[in-house]
Amino acid sequence: MTEFTPVQSLLGGALIGLSAVLLMAFHGRIAGMTGILAGAFAPGAGRGWRLAFLAGAVAAPLLLMWPVGIKIDFASPVPLGLTALSGLLVGIGVSYGGGCTSGHGVCGMARLSARSIVATLSFMLATGLTVYATRHLLAGG
């Protein structure tokens, strides 16, 4: 069962929005995680800020756990093989969709990009259908 956490969700969303605004303000770049990840491993300029952004995305939850004492459960009921397959499918979808949920959903929609609005609506529809199918049709929980 998914836990309802409105305060934490609001704060997390605000921090994501703030990071997207700061990245655009200081570097003129969109905070799309797949683009940042791909650029971090590609030769050329701009790797430093990408690696720093990714390090912050990984370190932030760990740093939050330590001084504040918040416990974050990283366990997943999904087997590792299915998780890897899901990641591969998301990667394929990202290449066809021209970006990910963070690039389209956070940054593109904030800029009122029609392409990003259509992409985000497609992500949300596919997510809803997937949850419905796994929870109700396949009796996955």
pLDDT tens by residue, 58-106: 898 888 787 777 777 778 888 999 999 988 988 888 888 888 888 899 9
Neighbours of 99 (CB within 10 A): 22
Domain parsing of the chain, residue ranges: 1-75, 77-140
**Model pLDDT, residue 1:** 61
Is residue 140 predicted with pLDDT exceeding 80?
no
**Mean pLDDT lowest among 24-28, 50-54, 94-98, 130-134:** 94-98
pTM of the model: 0.75
Residues 6+ apart with CB under 8 A from 49: 27, 29
- Rg of the Cα atoms in the chain: 17
Average model confidence (pLDDT) across the chain = 87
